[in-house]
Structure 1
């Protein structure tokens, strides 16, 4: 009997390894298989009481939802740490063919014998004083977003990508400019905006290891990892964006009142959480952010809570695992995350081929967040019917779905620049 059990186990493991036993593990991409669920009303508190005005939302509704997401999804920051020093390590008044100023600024943080720094690459239009700015993280270093040979290459840990010349977890000259397609630097400058970007790995390396990055600065005694309700990497990266905002408040060349926080994929999840937790950000953009970002978790479409927590256990707080294959138990969903940004503008963008990120779930979040924006007289998404591909809805709550896959394209940036100009520049 024991031999039979062992043989069956071996066959199952072999079948899983070779992809023959895949039914349970295949993501759902079929709308007819989306489970029935009730969308939580952002204007109804957990005890059932209705919220009917801005004051009640700000005093009761928003704090309750913010507490839920903090303790159960992204994790709380267990302390405070400001900038110890900052230094402009390189600058030029003749960047991008002479139409922009370039500045590279190191922010340094020190606590209990530890030291961490990250570098902000900033391009500003020469013809605009006190410029509004798009702020966002990049995945492979500041030098990858431009062919500008003056941009410093980070020595921080990076995910290996041999096609970019990244091996042994080190960024190299070979990767300079490999992501220019994702950053419309010239178009941003021509529109009168600045661009600020940070390599996210300098704030917290993207790996399931909390011994480096910002987290250990807050450990007590022999702590090795954040507590169950303490921050994962997404909240750590959001913390870094807020520290960049601290710096902008000291930089006379940046309009700190008109900073648009932007992010793609996991960094889109980050931009949303940064926009929620730091109301200094004037507007928020989420590009293809999916599960744990803009997409409704209860739909269980594409990437699910269990999948993201199993594949990337460091992104969210440990408490989020309570909802693995248990999305129905969530008392709140991601549309209420978007609602926490109100009344500030928020843009959610999807891609037609990026079913893993659940475009319909992202759209529905924007739609179901709209009642909170209505409290402020701000225009959201008017209909539950998704817009046609490449036909943006550009209200205070904005949305588009474009052709193509999981990426940031020129079309995306064209919409973001137009929308940000309307929302922030034409006030």
Structure 2
């Protein structure tokens, strides 16, 4: 049977298909010497080339212009927020020796034609004041975040290649399998809550023409899949994260003005996009987000636009496929995605062995977003003249409004990463009175 992802890639490239299609994936490299010469678009220039000279220019004109471009040409336009979000508490109990509260909250994302719900697993330290909360989606279900036996086992579709998943359904064997990525007790001891939900609750991560998850509920009459400029899966996951924030706003023990969007890998891309589209998030954290996230597309390094569209044709909108092997034609690059979060704090992180995600490209995006942050009155990445050379491994740059580190190791999120994010959050949230 031919590979459906390969077929989708070839169709996007305008190729004529036969039953014998078995195309090779687009070529990639991780050799800095092969990075092509490129010129980045200037976030502080309007489409007509005139300069953005004030914060008002950025806020009222340039930012909306860029946001529209990213929506139309990359992530796809998502439906507007609903007037209200229905929630239901499934469970609530004291945990960790009575020092914290754990809740499971069902959030209704859509009701028609088929109900779609997302379950939030929420941990909060016991305190007399509302607390800041990290909100992030997980890859394998809430039951994988913890070894606690009474957290509900997710029953939605999952990848078979995951340990503990049989016939695309989770088994008890998978419980706690992702706990190393979610150091719950560390966060609680630092005075933060954690809210997480399985991204497949919102939209299962496989390509079936958008017949699953939240997409069908918003299809127009006679429409079988999103239009070329309408939402792919990443935009759907971001839309779902915003509904998660809607739900947290209903929790009196959560400081809803201090909710931090966080994501790893494809969910790091999601965190950046939700941070750009939903200004309610106080801080945005991208962990190893790579192509389509923090990494500059024009570097054509590691995973490229063509390769990501080949492997995951459902992540972005159809319009994005016109830039396969054609990054120079992009009307934006990823430093401008980070700039869309300004002036709110943003942290970008890389791993030294994660060349597929292009650590240098991730760092350069943070550097080249700096002028927008400074225009808006912040210190940007800090220092008078930020260097374009990668900082030393395991030495975070985190005293500014833009944070960055590259750590030892591979594509993952670990305690070192979380320690930096907590320190960064402390600096930017603890002094606030809201």
TM-score, length basis structure 1? 0.92
Long gaps (5+) in structure 2: 1-20
The residue aligned with 1:413 is 418
Name the CA distance, whole Å, in 2 between partners of 1:146 and 1:247: 21
The residue aligned with 1:292 is 292
Name the CA distance, whole Å, in 2 between partners of 1:153 and 1:222: 36
The residue aligned with 2:15 is none
Q: Does 1:193 align with 2:192?
A: yes
Q: Greater shift after overlay, 280-289 or 218-227?
A: 218-227
The residue aligned with 2:100 is 100
Structure 2 matches for 1:298-309, cutoff 5 A? 298-309=298-309
Rg larger in structure:
1
Name the CA distance, whole Å, in 2 between partners of 1:80 and 1:194: 24
Q: Number of residues paired by the alignment?
A: 406
The residue aligned with 2:3 is none
The residue aligned with 2:211 is 211
The residue aligned with 1:5 is none
Name the CA distance, whole Å, in 1 between partners of 2:157 and 2:109: 18
The residue aligned with 1:4 is none
Long gaps (5+) in structure 1: 1-15
Structure 2 matches for 1:6-405, cutoff 5 A? 25-83=26-84, 85-92=86-93, 94-127=94-127, 129-161=129-161, 164-209=163-208, 210-381=210-381, 382-394=386-398, 395-405=400-410
Name the CA distance, whole Å, in 2 between partners of 1:425 and 1:136: 21
TM-score, length basis structure 2? 0.91
Deviations along 1:36-57, whole A, 9 cap, x unmatched? 0111111011210101110000
Asked if structure 1 preserves the Cα contact closer than 8 Å seen for 2:85 and 2:246, the reply is no
The residue aligned with 1:10 is none
Aligned-residue offset at 1:248: 1.5
Aligned-residue offset at 1:409: 0.9
Asked if structure 2 preserves the Cα contact closer than 8 Å seen for 1:128 and 1:192, the reply is no
Aligned-residue offset at 1:79: 4.7
Aligned-residue offset at 1:33: 1.0
Name the CA distance, whole Å, in 1 between partners of 2:355 and 2:120: 33
Aligned-residue offset at 1:154: 1.2
Q: CA 1:339–1:232 in 2, change beyond 3 Å: closer, same or farther?
A: same
Q: CA RMSD in A?
A: 1.6
SS in 2 for 1:181: helix
Deviations along 1:327-348, whole A, 9 cap, x unmatched? 0111210000000000000000
Q: CA 1:112–1:166 in 2, change beyond 3 Å: closer, same or farther?
A: closer
Q: CA 1:84–1:44 in 2, change beyond 3 Å: closer, same or farther?
A: closer
Name the CA distance, whole Å, in 1 between partners of 2:193 and 2:214: 27
Name the CA distance, whole Å, in 2 between partners of 1:84 and 1:228: 28
Q: Greater shift after overlay, 350-359 or 170-179?
A: 170-179
Aligned-residue offset at 1:260: 0.3
